[in-house]
Structure 1
Amino acid sequence: MLRPSGSLHAGTIHRLEPSLKEKALSLHLVPPPSPSPSPFSPPPEWSDLLSRMVPPTPFSTWEWQALWWKHFGQGKEWLALAVRHEGRVIALAPFYRDDQGNHLRLVGGEDLSDYLDILCQPGEEARVWELILDYLRSRPSGLEGLDLHCLPGHSPTLEVLPRLARDHDHAVRVELEEGCPQIELPATWQDYLLLLHRKDRHELRRKMRRAQSAPISLRFRQCSEEECAREDIKSFICLHRKSRPEKEGFMDERREAFFAEVASVFTRRGWLRLYTLEHEGGAAAAMLCFDYQGNVMLYNSGYDPAFSSLSPGIVLIANCLQDAISRRKARFDFLRGKEDYKYRLGGRDFPVYRIVVEGT
């Protein structure tokens, strides 16, 4: 039975009974985001633990996870856990029960989030995962294991969780899921160009010159304010659907509503920029980027195939890179996907993993 305990917001976290074997720690259930009064105001403990992640990512913010749950949580069971030590929250594990009902996954969904993990005070990962595994071994509501996607290559979870799970005779599978090409940004645009292979550098310059000298005038514009984002996200979604048939299939009505709300909430926080390559009659290409904690992340893009001869997508990325360098950003992250252009523009793979733990 659940009974009230301490809370992130008073009365909202419930201690799990019976008490677990790690007496110094206690495990609690965290209710899902409430639609009122302000679902996108993060609990202070969430923000504090997020700030300790190295590096923190927008996909682990309360805002992203609350929005994902609002739009995609139907039919799923929220089972987020908080770990307390002497009354203080030292870890948050934002889990939900999958559609099959037997595994815990991380809120955010592997099809929309690029990096996911628990939020944990550094140095406490082993004790926290031990407690979570102990809870799962009690087989609450028939849970059988964990299926964790999008774990970044530097996550302590990758070292701690498999070892602890194997120590308790669980079947464990660790898989390289995908790579996220990244660029460590230099001080100047010219320094960036020197990072590229000679052929790729020549090709990028050629495409930028061709776009600049095209009969139709193309103009680079960026939006980081909520007011312009309301219109620019519509243009982005339209171009995303136009780009390729698989992108049109991806951008269904639920995802369209999700991205529109992400644009609104994230521009309010200063975490999102929409970049557009415009012509007199509209937009030739658009990109949605996260601007978070000193890094720029290219989340998704779209272009009008009518302008494909001008390589508007590559030209827009080049302008975005110039902007990131001028604003002294540390890293440009292409996020998941092994498209060739990411590597021709200087990306180097950063690995992302999946851990499956069975037999809890």
Structure 2
Amino acid sequence: MSTETRGAGLPAQSAAPSWTTELRCEDDALDAVAEEWDDLAARCRTATFFQAAAWQRSWWRHYGRPGGLVVVLVRRDGRLVGAGAFRRRGGPLGGLTGLGDGLADYTDVLLDDECADRAATEFAAALPLTRPWHWLELREVHPEAAVQRVYAQWRGSRRRFEDSLCQYLPAVPMERLLKRVPGKTAQRSRVKLRKIAEAGVQVRSTPPEDVPDALAGLLRLHFLQWQDRGVTPEHRSERFARHLTESTTGLVATGRAAVHQFHLDGQLVAVNLLLLCPSFGGLYLYGAHPVLRERLDIAGLLFGAALEETVGAGIPVLGLLRGQEPYKQRWRPDRLPNQRLLLGPAGAAPAAAVRAGAVRARQAAAHQLGTRFPGLKEALLARRRA
């Protein structure tokens, strides 16, 4: 970088910032930049728990394939202001996609809020998409995600489609939340909440050192809860247990997650994993003993603790994440679909048409099957997560 000499009596002029970009493809690239990564996440208002270094590093260790990691870094005067991790796709067309297939409800990159537009421009220019069939496909992108700025700055081919539906509630005290629902529903909910209070359920927020044991209990109860209705196969795998434990321990240690344990009559009856970020909390996974269902309203029990944690942390929104399970609908949540983004090289119109057509065909088929067989859509989503 050149140094400017100022003449006597002339006003001082600050040098223009120096922008650099870097592509890292080593399998340990995320480990090498973890501290900088989380520092940047704290300066990116749209960053979710799935963009935290603990979650991304853990997912890559347990699900990534050697040689398939691509990390894009943008620096302004040496400081990290843009970052994103992707994996190379297999198959004849190749290309890139985000980390966390099926397990992440939100895919995004990190951009420093103070220079997000310029960082997005530099990030877009650094994406290694040169061949006509090499595309970046990102699933589950929030409409306000940072990567939307990269999409806006992209000078090649691009397409946007609707993806999974996510649901949200204002993080307010329970009594205010009940005003969203019809009177009879609210009254029934109050009765159920009163029974929970009278039952003497003890709720404990788990410290980081106890997270592994708590999550082992969560998965055990999760299996019991769903054994007669079909548990998601991946939730039974050892790698999922290792990833969940490793990532959650790191998230709890940095305040990005809370694990609630529920005891009744001295026995562990439920465990809930709540993910946290400045913009919203997210109900990610829980396990509850089937016996508890006979005594108390499980949804009200877990939801009440999650709402209290979110309100106490000053977080404005409680996210119900993907899925339209009946227990979520009773609260009349606001609905907002995620998006699927496709970015390809300039002049790749034929390839863009093929990619876009394939996406539309899959979406149309899923809609038709979901209409004719109402339970099939959730089953297919569970399979994709696996």
Flag whether TM exceeds 0.5 (same fold). Answer: yes
Whether 1:276 and 2:268 are equivalent positions in the alignment is no
State how far apart, in whole Å, the 1-side matches of 2:297 and 2:32 are.
38
State how far apart, in whole Å, the 2-side matches of 1:239 and 1:177 are.
30
TM-score between the two structures when normalised by the length of structure 2: 0.73
Which residue of 2 is the match for residue 115 of structure 1?
Answer: 106
Which residue of 1 is the match for residue 214 of structure 2?
Answer: 232
- Which structure 2 residues correspond to residues 80-119 of structure 1 after superposition, within 5 A? 80-85=71-76, 87-100=78-91, 102-107=94-99, 109-119=100-110
Whether the 8 Å CA contact 1:79–1:95 is kept in 2: the answer is: yes
From 249, 252, 268, the counterpart of 1:264: 249
Which residue of 1 is the match for residue 205 of structure 2?
Answer: 223
Whether the 8 Å CA contact 1:294–1:331 is kept in 2: the answer is: yes
* Displacement of 1:237: 0.9
State how far apart, in whole Å, the 2-side matches of 1:227 and 1:265 are.
10
* Displacement of 1:239: 1.3
Using a 3 Å threshold, how does the CA distance of structure 1 residues 234 and 92 change in structure 2: closer, same or farther? same
State how far apart, in whole Å, the 2-side matches of 1:336 and 1:183 are.
13
Say which SS state the counterpart of residue 53 (structure 1) adopts: coil
One-letter code aligned to 1:59: F
State how far apart, in whole Å, the 1-side matches of 2:266 and 2:39 are.
46
- Which structure 2 residues correspond to residues 47-86 of structure 1 after superposition, within 5 A? 47-75=38-66, 77-85=68-76
Which residue of 1 is the match for residue 240 of structure 2?
Answer: 255
Whether the 8 Å CA contact 2:21–2:122 is kept in 1: the answer is: no
Cα deviation 1:128-170 (Å, max 9, x = unaligned): 354135x412x3xx961111112111125336526735xx4x3
Q: Structure 1: which 5+ residue stretches go unaligned?
A: 1-23
Whether the 8 Å CA contact 2:117–2:149 is kept in 1: the answer is: no
Root-mean-square deviation over aligned CA pairs: 2.9
Using a 3 Å threshold, how does the CA distance of structure 1 residues 212 and 184 change in structure 2: closer, same or farther? closer
Cα deviation 1:277-332 (Å, max 9, x = unaligned): 32236333221012333643211112222332323233221233234334543221
Greater helix share, structure number: 2
Cα deviation 1:207-241 (Å, max 9, x = unaligned): 2234455xxx4513122312332321111111122
* Displacement of 1:272: 2.0
One-letter code aligned to 1:102: G
Shifted more, 345-354 versus 241-250: the winner is: 241-250
One-letter code aligned to 1:356: L
Which residue of 1 is the match for residue 134 of structure 2?
Answer: 144
State how far apart, in whole Å, the 2-side matches of 1:284 and 1:189 are.
23
Identity, % of aligned pairs? 21
Which residue of 2 is the match for residue 30 of structure 1?
Answer: 24
Say which SS state the counterpart of residue 332 (structure 1) adopts: strand
Whether the 8 Å CA contact 1:90–1:120 is kept in 2: the answer is: yes
Using a 3 Å threshold, how does the CA distance of structure 1 residues 96 and 178 change in structure 2: closer, same or farther? same
Whether 1:154 and 2:140 are equivalent positions in the alignment is no
* Displacement of 1:75: 5.0
Runs of 4+ residues over 6 Å off in structure 1: none
* Displacement of 1:103: 1.8
Whether the 8 Å CA contact 1:57–1:115 is kept in 2: the answer is: yes
Cα deviation 1:229-272 (Å, max 9, x = unaligned): 23211111111222224435231111011111123222222322
State how far apart, in whole Å, the 1-side matches of 2:286 and 2:197 are.
21
Using a 3 Å threshold, how does the CA distance of structure 1 residues 242 and 201 change in structure 2: closer, same or farther? same
State how far apart, in whole Å, the 2-side matches of 1:91 and 1:39 are.
16
Which residue of 2 is the match for residue 317 of structure 1?
Answer: 303
* Displacement of 1:76: 5.8
TM-score between the two structures when normalised by the length of structure 1: 0.78
Whether the 8 Å CA contact 1:41–1:63 is kept in 2: the answer is: no
- Which structure 2 residues correspond to residues 171-210 of structure 1 after superposition, within 5 A? 172-186=158-172, 188-210=173-195
Whether the 8 Å CA contact 2:95–2:129 is kept in 1: the answer is: no
Which residue of 1 is the match for residue 326 of structure 2?
Answer: 340
Say which SS state the counterpart of residue 94 (structure 1) adopts: strand
Whether the 8 Å CA contact 1:83–1:92 is kept in 2: the answer is: yes
Using a 3 Å threshold, how does the CA distance of structure 1 residues 102 and 33 change in structure 2: closer, same or farther? closer
One-letter code aligned to 2:282: M
Which residue of 2 is the match for residue 19 of structure 1?
Answer: none
